[in-house]
Amino acid sequence: MRENRPYGSEGGAARAVPTPIVKWRNRSTGTSETPVHPAKSIDIPYAPRDFRMIERAMSHTPMTYRDAGVDIDAGNSLVERIKPLVRRTMRPEVLAGVGGFGASVRVPLEKYREPVMVSGTDGVGTKLRLAQQLARHDTIGIDLVAMCVNDVLVQGAEPIFFLDYFATGKLDVEIAASVVAGIATGCAESGCALVGGETAEMPDMYPPGEYDLAGFCVGLVERSKMLDGSAVRAGQVLVGIESSGPHSNGYSLIRKVLARAGGDVSVDVGGRTLGDALMAPTRLYVKPVLKLLADLPIVAMAHITGGGLSENIIRVIPDGLGIAVDSGAWPQPPVFAWLQQHGNIEQSEMWRTFNCGIGFVLVMDDAHADAAIAGLATDGFAAWRIGSVTHGGERVVIR
């Protein structure tokens, strides 16, 4: 253990360290200097004649974990509150979930010849800060799930289970339950089991009312059906699926623009308040896209997150090929025009920061694009041909 090593010896030779001095201000004898070990340095208003007097001066009131700021009963109460929410996300593969030391999930070998696990982890960025400022805790959990499951989906994987991490300085059961309810909703809408998580109450780590979130997801895909971009060819089309708004990216810039504009989230933006437009939960693309994958030869997919349209689609396009995107091919949600206007943001910066109305992209032969667009419409998702795969020239062109 570290305290048994010579001071300063960790990772190298021991080195001499001056012994600090604590000045004891003794009422009867005046000031004296007594050397003490670094780990035992203390500062008290006066020094009694001996350490027995220090011991007598100290309080002997029993202390509890709650006194230190951790309420175990509140944590247990939260677990009971969320159990019904978790149960509705269960899949037949789950053998043991919430309550144990670890969740157990069976790989359904009857469905796969050579199953491959695809994992993803993410947070929601500083959209979380805005959610806390606006006291909108009920949908931020959906954002958390979407950021993970949509990423896993890109390789053709079906999300199987999800875990969350919720950290705060002082646990507010109502807020935490609201957040987890959103997580459960996102999991249920994605067909993904919420098998467990961690609620960490850490006094002094977070200011009052603040919390942090992280999520982790595992999906399965048949190895022969994995999408890795190797089948992408010049001339194939890009089918873009609508987003609900900024989703969970670009919020550091969004919050700066909002502050510059005066911070009023009640202003009208295309028939809804700015607050509603900014807090709209990230779309969950899992179920409609998995249906398309079962029927159509999609060769690559991209989740439009940090980096926007400029930097995400190209991640699944092989070297030697590029993309040409027609920005007039889809209607952009009004919130993006509001952000660009009030932040005086250049267009190139918009493309590389925000999804600008396209949350997910499919790459396929043109012959299958109409069927894909029609299938998505059936499931309530608008989609458009937004561009094509090119050969030579610039890697990314958005006009």
Q: What is residue 69's predicted lDDT score, i.e. its pLDDT? A: 87
Flag whether 317 is in a domain.
Answer: yes
Question: Does one domain contain both 137 and 177?
Answer: yes
Residue 280 in this model has a pLDDT that exceeds 90: yes
User: pTM to 2 decimals?
Assistant: 0.84
Question: What pLDDT, in 10s, does the model give residues 53-86?
Answer: 555 555 678 888 888 888 888 888 888 888 889 9
Q: And the tokens for 37? A: 């070990």
**Same domain? 219 vs 301:** no
- Cα distance between the two ends of the chain: 61
Q: Do 337 and 272 share a domain, yes or no?
A: yes
Q: What is the pLDDT of residue 22?
A: 40
The reply to whether 6 and 126 lie within a common domain is: no
**CATH code at position 109:** 3.30.1330.10
Q: How many domains does the chain have?
A: 3
In the structure, what pLDDT confidence band is assigned to residue 50 with cuts at 50, 70 and 90? low
Are 246 and 394 in the same domain? yes
Q: Look up the domain containing 253 and give its range.
A: 237-398
Q: What is the pLDDT of residues 328-345, one digit of tens each?
A: 999 999 999 999 999 999
Which tokens belong to 369?
């694009």
| Domain shared by 289 and 184, yes or no | no
What angle in degrees, to the nearest 10, is found between the helix axes of 173-190 and 286-295?
A: 10
Stretch among 95-99, 140-144, 206-210, 249-253 having the lowest mean pLDDT: 95-99
| pLDDT of res. 12 | 42
Q: What is the mean pLDDT of residues 306-311?
A: 96
Answer with the one of 180, 197, 225 that is the final residue of a domain: 225
107 and 248 together in one domain: no
CA angle 90, 93, 95 (to 5 degrees): 80
**Residue 332 counted as domain residue:** yes
Residue 143 is inside which H or E element, if any? helix 140-153
pLDDT at 1: 31
For residue 52, what pLDDT band results from cuts at 50, 70 and 90? low
Do 372 and 289 lie in one domain? The reply is yes
